[in-house]
Structures are given as structure tokens and as C-alpha cells.
Structure 1
Amino acid sequence: MEGLWTIFGPILTVVLALMTKNVIISLFFGVCYFSVGLFGLDFLNHIVDFFVAGFSGNGFVIVILMPLGVLLAFMRAGGGFKAFAGWANRKVSSRKQVGVMVFALATVLALAQDLVANLATGRILRPVIVEKKLAPEKAAFISLSAAPNIGAPIPYGTYFLFCVGMVSMLVPGVAPIPFFLKSVALSFHTWLAVLIGLLVALEIIPDLGYMKECQKRAETAIDPMETDGGGDALGGANVKPDFGAFFLPVIALVAGVAVTSLAAGELTLVPGAFIGAFVAVVYAIARGAVKPGEASNLVIGGIMEQAPIIMLLAFAFAFGAALQMAGLDQFIVSAMSGTLPPALVPAIVFLVGCAVSYTTGSLGSGLVIMLAIATGAPLILSFAATFSGAQWGDQLSPLSDMVIENAGANSIDPVELYKVALPYRLIEGGISLALFLILGFLL
């Protein structure tokens, strides 16, 4: 049922999110819009279908949040956060150094798995971020710029797995992994976003737009812990620092992901997350930091801390499923395929990828690679432009799971992260567009 009507759903959803600053209501509106378009007056009976479809492809992300919440709760109760914060406060003397620490941790975790980096960087460093008065919005932007992009060429990364599968489906006759890796090398957004994130962390690039307001608010807070939602980010006055409670669960998580993935012959994240959580629970109880009778309540509390981001992601995945059922990507491809000069294809697919991915909050706009195939443009450059544009929108849209994950990890609203990121994304997007336009004519 693809048609012109599918374009207005994402646009209206984004506009509503920016006006109301309520992403859940906006996503639910988008789901209802497509349900009405597909099923008419019977749309209410089919809304659950979108959630089921969204969970079927992305349910592991929701599941992994629960053991991750338990891991972080016991890490905090066991003194891991307090030990790390104490060390960081001794080693880190400025807000700039905290920004660099956010970038470094996001990078290290992304080398293990970018999803883990998105979900954990802000939560692990939260005490230091608050103590040194780095705006949580700025921390979220830095981790968002680093983690998914550094993780892009990693063989078990989210982008890698998705795009290699897409290449094998849409570009027959090529080896998908070498093709994607060559394309990533020409994906200008990927590397410009990393560079800008680092330069923002180093304060070489100044705070722009809404970032300036957020940073000023963080600096002038009377009590730094007020920005932490009223809770004690370190675990409480009675908690004793313990580096083991910090490092052992993280090591167990990474090792668990590696071992279970090798055993399964494919990337598996959920078992590793449960292993990390189990080690955190056992260590905290064995060290006496948590009494056995208190463990069950702490497990429930850790899961409940993840409830806001779980709910946001559930609606985001349902919205993505609705887009696929409505056939938005197929409509764009069929409407534009075969109508473009080959030299302009890289620049145009970059812009189309930006627009579609931004309004949908999904990397699925990569299907516009079909434009390049239809017009005979250079495939690797065109796919790089498609991937860059899709990443650009995916890392800016308040509807995107990437934005929601990094915003949730830093306890801010996805719309706030969008507002902070906008001027920087416009800068690197403009540079990327110029480079794709130049190379399109040269090649």
C-alpha cells in the first residue's frame, strides 16, 4: 500500500515530537497514523501487531536492558561507582578531561559492542559527569558521536551486521563484507562525527546553540547532584569504594559476549549481559556490600531504572515496524529510481538518506541504494553516501533508537539531545554533502 501518504506520517511524527517534547506520544501518533492508513476504521485492533513486529526484530535490545540495569544497580551498591568516581576525581581536574573520558569510554565499549556503549557509557560515568559539572546533554552528544560510528566497521557491530545483510540482498554478485568496509572508508559522516565529537570533548569546538545553555545550567547548579534527578549516583554514604565491583562485572560482560558468540557462531549479546549481571550480584553479596535478603529488591530496582528507556524503545520499534508495513522506502525508491544523472546520485542519495532516516528514526532508508543501481553510478561511493545519510538522520532524530539509548543513559529527553546535536550535525552534514558532490563528478 505504499504511496504518497506514507511520507506525511514520519514528518508529522517528528513535528509533534519537537512541539510537545514528548517522544512516546509522538511515536504512538505515528503508529496510529500508519494503522489507520493500512487498516482504516479497524486500526485499533492492529496497533498491537506493530509492537509484536517491532519486538520480533529488536526484542533482544529490550531484554538486554534488564540484566544491564541489574549489573549497574549492584555495581553502584557494591561500591564500584564510588571507587571509579574517587579515582576519576583524583585524575580528572577539569570538565574538559571528563569530556575526553566520556569519549574514551564510549570508544572502548564500542570496540566490544556499540549497543553496550550507547546504553552504558553515560550511566557508568554519571557520578564524574555530575561532580565536574559537565552538561549531561554534552556527555550524551559525545558518546552518540563516538560509539556507533567507531563501532561501524567492527564485524559484530549493529551497523555492520545490518548493512552487510542489506548489501548481500540488494547488490548481488559482490562480496558483502569487503564491499561494506570499502564503503565505510568513504562514509564521510561516520568519521566527521567522530572527529567533531572528539573536538567538542576537547573544547576545541565551542559550545554551540542549545549546548551552550545546557552547559551554563550545569555549571551554575547549586548542588551538582540536583542534576541527577535527586538520587545519590554513588550509592549512598554507607557504601565503601570497591574497584572489584566496577571492573569484574564489566570484564565478565565483555568476556561473556565473546565466549557465547564464539560458541553460537554468531553475535549474541543477551547471555553476556546476564553473565555480567550475575557476577555483579554474586560479588556484591560475597563482599557483604549487599545482604542476601536485599538482593531481590535491588534486582527489581535495577530493572525499574531502565523502564523509561525500555518504554521509549518499544514505541520506537513499533513505529519502525509500521513504516516497513506501509512501504515508505519502496515508495521513495520507485518514485525516484532511474531519474537521476549518475554524477549527482551520491549527493542526492545522501540527502534522501538524511531526510528519510531523520523523519523515521531508522537506518532503513539505506534501501535508496537502489537509486545507484538503477542509474549506473559508482556503487561503492553511492552506498557510502547512502550509509552516511542514513547515519546522519539516525544519530539526530529524536525518534531514533540510537538517540533514545544515549539520552536514556544520561537521564535526559531525546528531544534535548536532538537540540544539542543539531548545529554540529548541520556542519558535518554540509561538509559531507560537498565531498559527495565533488567525488560524484570526479568518479
Structure 2
Amino acid sequence: MKTRQLFGMGGVLLALLLLLAPAISRAETPSIDMPGLVLQGIPFSVTLNVERESGEPELPLWLEHAGRRHALTFTGGEAVVEGLLSNTDNAELTLIDDSGTVLAEVNSPAIPAWLSVVPALLAIVLALVFRQVILALFLAICAGGWLSYGMAGNKALVSVLDSVNVHVLTAASDSEHMSIVLFCLLIGGMVGIISRNGGTVGIANHITRFVRGRRSAQTTTGLLGTAIFFDDYANALIVGNTMRNITDRLRISREKLAYIVDSTAAPVSAILLVTTWIGFQVGLIDEALGQVDGFEGSAYGVFLSAISYSFYPILALLFVFMISLSGRDFGPMLKAEIRAVQQQQDADDALTDREAIAEEASIDAKPGIPHRALNAIIPMTVLVLTTLGGIWYTGMEELGHPAQYSLRDVFGNGDSFTAMMWGSLLSTLVALIMTQAQRLLSMDEAAHYWFEGVKSMLLPITILMMAWALSSVNESLHTSDYLVSVLSDSLTPELIPVSVFLLSAFTAFATGSSWGVMGIMMPLVVPLAWAVLQHHGLAGNPEFMHLFYASVAAVLAGAVWGDHCSPLAETTLLAAMASGCGLVEHVRTQLPYALFVGVIATLFGIVPVAYGLPWWLGIAICALAMALGLRVLGKRAEDSPGAQAVPAVAATTAVDITG
């Protein structure tokens, strides 16, 4: 009997302990959430969580940091403290109550702020010097991982091991990243099928009816890139894969093709009115305008007004057609064009080919079958229309009441990643069905060459993964916070646009993410520009509102400029991949052109317009400066000594369009 009572009392006590345990743990374990790494001299914020029992008195709590106490105000058991600084090797925080009892302690390593840009710059320098992109990215990731541990000596080996199982795995776990990977794999498979079934040869023969030489081929590529405006990723992959065979036959270098593809991808998507970029940009502007007092206008209205001041995207597109129509080049691009015309390859090219962004399988058309252009045109049309329709459909689903919104709103809110996967899958199925219906390939052959096409994507996808991993490292190092702090000092109103443009460009160059730069800079620039105008009594004055719009445009334009110059940027990788060009060669040849346009946009566009020059006159002056510069610096590859006559490919092969 006593034993039963003892067990009964024990059971009751155990049940009480189980019921009370959560309350005890909540009351006794307050927590402090702070960054895993702190940059010296750069403000950071922490979140404190303290849960009390109901009825427990609300005693005051304090956060002690760097010898100072900060009074805490809790909202729902949570308090946020911003603007903390650390100038030592460790940032130590202590949570104490009114009696001085320590409730929680935490510390994070602190490093000099300038070190946060070292991994990104290391990757860029190593890639350009040694032309080994994967090795450069790997070493940069390892260096960034070691910095994130506060450069602790015992973490050097751990940072190397973390390069794959932490940073690359984190990049691979992102759903949007995997959407791009699947899109690339399916596109590669489709290209493998339509290459083997004669479709790409057919479409090349068809397009060459209208191409009379090197200049018209480059111009056609630029026009095609402008026509596929709705998404920069889809633009790069479609245009590069479509025009590669044609430009090869006309002895146009892969570097030139990659440049045209890259310079008609992001610039077009950034400034046209119905693209996948619009919703992102307008959303950022709208969020930033919520921090502005006294501004009357909509976020979309600000975006439309800012397009006129987006000098770099506009001038980059214009320069593509100047280059194409004039036939002139300069710098490394001229050398690449001369080699293409002379049909030569030097030792540097051989080195580059070992790590080309697209590992070309050189899938030729099957001998003895007709070369029907429709076998490529229809799958690619399905790809474009399905992607476009998918963006529209997902935009309608997101808004819920499409009748109340314009087409721009619908496209701006669409899910481009889902739409691209739909388009690539359907286009692959259409290519397969058409091939089987015409009995051009057996099922085994179709499957084999689909995998050959997929295989060609493995190297660029590996580089993409590592670039994303480095971006994750940059985020943990707060690289963007440091770069933004460079311009934290007070500015005169006229200097805001050019300062924002240069900072956005450098941040995009170092991080390789134009969207990331816009996401960071826009919420800061919009309130800053308005506050500076208010401080000088210019806010709301129509004569000076161009400074506000130019500052908003400078974020977008600077992000695109830095994106074009960086080997870490996704569109740079995709443009090189689709064009079959080495990544380092693409960056090395495109960089002088991007710098040329960017410097002219700064000196003759952004700065003069900030001081009152009309925007349209600024664009006209910039265009004239680019034309004069190209006239002075540029030469035609065909005029070089030893240049061979380019074969006239137009109308050399009969094209079976109807099948």
C-alpha cells in the first residue's frame, strides 16, 4: 500500500515538474541574438528575448556594452538595440537586471571593417590573373570563412572544410538558386536535342538569309537581345544559344557574342516597363518612401521618372549598336576579333579553353537528316511564350484581383523563377515530341544527346554555386554595410547621384549581385536623398526634384554597371556560358567597354545633369562622346594585316522551313 502511495506521489511530482519545466526554462534562460561577426566601427543591432511568468513584476533590465548601459524597452518579450559599435577584437554584451545580476552574456569576434571586402577582391584578382575561376572562388570562400571566425588561428582548417559543407550547401539549399540550376539544365538538354535533330543548323541557315556580314550579324544579335526583354536570365541563355553557330560561321569571336548578350540582358530588363525587375524595384522604392515625410507621389511614378536618369543602362545598349554598326573595336576585344578573323588561336586561348564557361560538346546535326528550322524555332518559341505567360499567371495569382491592376503590376509581381522552369520543361518536351514525330532520332539517341546537353552545363553551374557561396560569405562579413558606410558622411545635393552611382557600382562589382545591391542601397538612398534636399530647403521644389529621381536611378544604374564589370555576377556567368566563351576572357574583353561607357556616363551625364543640364541633352552629349571615342580608339578587325576574307554565308544553304 505504501509502495503504491509512494509511486502515486512520485507520478504527481513528475507531472508537475513536466508542466513547470517550460515556464522555468523560459524564465531562467533569456537570450541575446547578435551577429556572428562584428565590423569595428560599423553599427550593428542585437535582439534580446526575455519571457516572464504571468504576474511577475516587470523589473527594468539593462544591456551593458563597451562600458555603457542601455535601458531596454520590451515589446512582447523582445527588445531591439541598434547602433552599437565595437572598436576592440571582441564585441561583448551583458544583460543585467536592476540589482546588477547577470542574466545573459554573449560575445562575437570583431575585425577591422576594411577586411570585409578582401574575399570578393581576392576572387576577382585571382580569377583575372591566373584565369582559374573555380580555384579563385574556392580560395576566396576559404578566406571569407576564416575572417568570419575572427581570424582565429585554430579555425583555419575549419574554414577550408566549411567551404563546401556550409557555404556551398547553403547556396544549393536556396530555392531560387535551384530554380536557376534546373532552368540551365533543362535548357542545356533542349539545346542538345535541337542541335542533333538539325534544328539549330536550320535556324542558323534561316537567319543567315538576312545576315550579309559580320556587322549585320552583330546588329541582329543586339536586336534579338533587345526583343527578349522580359527577363535577363532567359535573355542571355536564349540569345547566346541561338546566335552562337551563326557568329562562329562569320568569324565573330565568342568574346564579342558574350559582350552583346551581356549588354542586352540586364540593361533592357532594368529600364523597360514590363519585366521581372519592375516589381522588385518598385517594391523597394515603395518601402523606402514609407520612411519619407512630405513626399507626394507613388513608387511607380518615382520609378518612371527615374528611367530618364538611368544613364548607364541606356548608354550600354546604345554602345552595343555603335560597336555592331561601325565594326570598330578596341582593347582586348579588338585582339579577340582579329584572332577570330584570322582563324588563329594562341597559347592564352588554349589555357582559357580548359576552363571555358561552357564545356562545349560540339553536338553536330545527325548526318543524312533534313535541317528544319521549325525544329528549333517552335521549342524556343514555346520557351519564350511559356515563360512570359508563366510570369503573367503567377503575377495574377499573387495580386489576387488582377482587374484592379495594370499589366505592369502583374508582370512586376510574377514569379520569374517558376515561369522559367515551366518554359524550359515544356520546350524540352516539345523538342522531344517533334523529333520523335519526324523520326529524326531514336529515343535512345534523343536521351543520349539530351544528357550531352545537360553535361555541358555542369561546369557553369559549379561556378554559379561557388559564386553564390561567396555571396553568402560576403553577407556574413557585412561587406555591403561597410561599403555603404563609406558614404555615410554628409553630402551636398548635387553630389548625391554620382556618389550613389559609384558606391552601388563598386558594391555590385565586389559582391556580384545587382539585386542584392538594390535591396541594400534603395532603402538607404531614398530617405537620404530626401533628407539632404530638406536640409537645404529644396525638397518638393520642381526645379530640384531631378536630384531625387537621379539618386534613385543611380542605385539601379550603378548596380548594372558593377554587375557588368564583375566576374562574380550571375548574368556575366550566364552570358559567357550561353556564348561558349571563357568567363575570364569574357570579363577581360568586356571590362574596357563597360568602364568606357561608365566613365562617360559619369562625366558627361550624371554630374552635369545634377547641376541642371536637361537629361535628354546629357544622353545626347554622352552618345556623341562615345561615338568620338570609338572613332579615335576603335579599329576594324577586317583591316588588320593577315585578315582572311570572311565567307559569305548568306543564302549558302537552302533552308527547309516547312519541313
Please report the TM-score for the alignment, with normalisation by the length of structure 2.
Answer: 0.63
Which of 364, 376, 387 does residue 532 from structure 2 map onto? 376
Answering whether residue 159 of structure 2 is matched by residue 5 of structure 1, we say no
Q: Which of the two has higher C-alpha Rg?
A: 2
SS state at 2:271 partner: coil
Q: What is the Cα deviation at residue 340 of structure 1? A: 2.1
Q: What are the superposed Cα offsets for residues 312-339 of structure 1, whole Å, 9 maximum, x if unpaired?
A: 1111111112212221112222343243
Q: What is the Cα deviation at residue 187 of structure 1? A: 0.6
Which of 318, 331, 353 does residue 195 from structure 1 map onto? 318
Distance 2:378 2:183 in 1: 18
Q: Name the one with the larger helix percent.
A: 1
Q: Name the one with the larger strand percent.
A: 2
Answering whether residue 183 of structure 2 is matched by residue 64 of structure 1, we say yes
Distance 2:472 2:171 in 1: 5
| C-alpha spacing 1:88/1:335, structure 2 compared with 1 (3 Å) | closer
Distance 1:58 1:184 in 2: 29
SS state at 2:286 partner: helix
Structure-1 residue corresponding to 2:58: none
SS state at 2:597 partner: helix
Q: What are the superposed Cα offsets for residues 326-367 of structure 1, whole Å, 9 maximum, x if unpaired?
A: 211122223432432222111111111222211222213333
Counterpart residue type for residue 219 of structure 1: V
Structure-2 residue corresponding to 1:130: 248
Structure-1 residue corresponding to 2:140: 30
Q: What is the Cα deviation at residue 45 of structure 1? A: 5.1
Of stretches 45-54 and 8-17 in structure 1, the one that deviates more from structure 2 is: 45-54
**Contact between 1:260 and 1:271, CA under 8 Å: does it hold in 2?**
yes
Please report the TM-score for the alignment, with normalisation by the length of structure 1.
Answer: 0.92
Answering whether residue 564 of structure 2 is matched by residue 395 of structure 1, we say yes
Q: What is the Cα deviation at residue 280 of structure 1? A: 0.8
Answering whether residue 329 of structure 2 is matched by residue 329 of structure 1, we say no
Structure-1 residue corresponding to 2:374: 244
Q: What is the Cα deviation at residue 154 of structure 1? A: 4.3
Distance 1:31 1:144 in 2: 26
Structure-2 residue corresponding to 1:217: 339
Q: What is the Cα deviation at residue 276 of structure 1? A: 0.9
Distance 2:556 2:189 in 1: 35
| C-alpha spacing 1:400/1:262, structure 2 compared with 1 (3 Å) | closer
Distance 1:373 1:357 in 2: 21
Structure-2 residue corresponding to 1:417: 586
Which of 512, 517, 520 does residue 365 from structure 1 map onto? 517
Distance 1:395 1:222 in 2: 27
| C-alpha spacing 1:406/1:354, structure 2 compared with 1 (3 Å) | same
Superposed, 1:44-443 pairs within 5 Å as 44=160, 46-47=162-163, 48-55=165-172, 56=174, 57-109=176-228, 111-154=229-272, 157-172=275-290, 175-203=298-326, 206-221=328-343, 232=362, 234-264=364-394, 265=397, 266-267=414-415, 268-363=419-514, 364-366=516-518, 367-369=520-522, 370-371=524-525, 373-374=527-528, 376-377=532-533, 378-434=547-603, 435-442=605-612
**Contact between 1:36 and 1:43, CA under 8 Å: does it hold in 2?**
yes
Of stretches 146-155 and 419-428 in structure 1, the one that deviates more from structure 2 is: 146-155
Of stretches 312-321 and 331-340 in structure 1, the one that deviates more from structure 2 is: 331-340
Q: What is the Cα deviation at residue 106 of structure 1? A: 1.3
**Contact between 2:203 and 2:374, CA under 8 Å: does it hold in 1?**
no
Distance 2:360 2:312 in 1: 37
Distance 1:394 1:100 in 2: 23
SS state at 2:251 partner: coil
| C-alpha spacing 1:158/1:46, structure 2 compared with 1 (3 Å) | farther
Q: What is the Cα deviation at residue 91 of structure 1? A: 2.9
Distance 1:318 1:144 in 2: 22
Counterpart residue type for residue 521 of structure 2: V
Ranges in structure 1 where 5+ consecutive residues have no aligned partner: none
Counterpart residue type for residue 142 of structure 1: I
SS state at 2:565 partner: coil
| C-alpha spacing 1:62/1:229, structure 2 compared with 1 (3 Å) | closer
Q: What are the superposed Cα offsets for residues 159-203 of structure 1, whole Å, 9 maximum, x if unpaired?
A: 434433432343426633332232233110010000001111112
SS state at 1:151 partner: helix
Distance 1:244 1:112 in 2: 23
Q: What are the superposed Cα offsets for residues 281-334 of structure 1, whole Å, 9 maximum, x if unpaired?
A: 111111111111222222211211111211111111111122122211122223
Distance 1:400 1:137 in 2: 17
Q: How many residues align?
A: 439
Q: What are the superposed Cα offsets for residues 12-55 of structure 1, whole Å, 9 maximum, x if unpaired?
A: 22111111112222122222222111135142454333324434
SS state at 2:574 partner: helix
Q: What are the superposed Cα offsets for residues 215-270 of structure 1, whole Å, 9 maximum, x if unpaired?
A: 111111179xx999886565243342112211110121122223333433323221
Q: % of aligned pairs identical? A: 22
Q: What is the Cα deviation at residue 368 of structure 1? A: 3.4
**Contact between 1:344 and 1:440, CA under 8 Å: does it hold in 2?**
yes
**Contact between 1:256 and 1:271, CA under 8 Å: does it hold in 2?**
yes
**Contact between 1:336 and 1:371, CA under 8 Å: does it hold in 2?**
no
Counterpart residue type for residue 215 of structure 1: E
Distance 1:178 1:284 in 2: 48
Distance 1:23 1:304 in 2: 19
**Contact between 2:309 and 2:606, CA under 8 Å: does it hold in 1?**
no
Q: What is the Cα deviation at residue 371 of structure 1? A: 4.6
Distance 2:276 2:127 in 1: 26
Distance 1:356 1:391 in 2: 11
Distance 2:487 2:601 in 1: 22
Distance 1:328 1:75 in 2: 43
Counterpart residue type for residue 527 of structure 2: I
| C-alpha spacing 1:246/1:170, structure 2 compared with 1 (3 Å) | same
Structure-1 residue corresponding to 2:9: none
RMSD: 2.5
Q: What is the Cα deviation at residue 393 of structure 1? A: 1.0
Counterpart residue type for residue 185 of structure 1: S
Q: What are the superposed Cα offsets for residues 141-167 of structure 1, whole Å, 9 maximum, x if unpaired?
A: 112111221121346635434433432
SS state at 1:134 partner: coil
Distance 1:32 1:21 in 2: 18
Distance 2:286 2:466 in 1: 29
| C-alpha spacing 1:429/1:229, structure 2 compared with 1 (3 Å) | same
**Contact between 1:142 and 1:200, CA under 8 Å: does it hold in 2?**
no
Counterpart residue type for residue 248 of structure 2: V
Distance 1:141 1:246 in 2: 24
Distance 2:360 2:595 in 1: 34
| C-alpha spacing 1:180/1:240, structure 2 compared with 1 (3 Å) | same
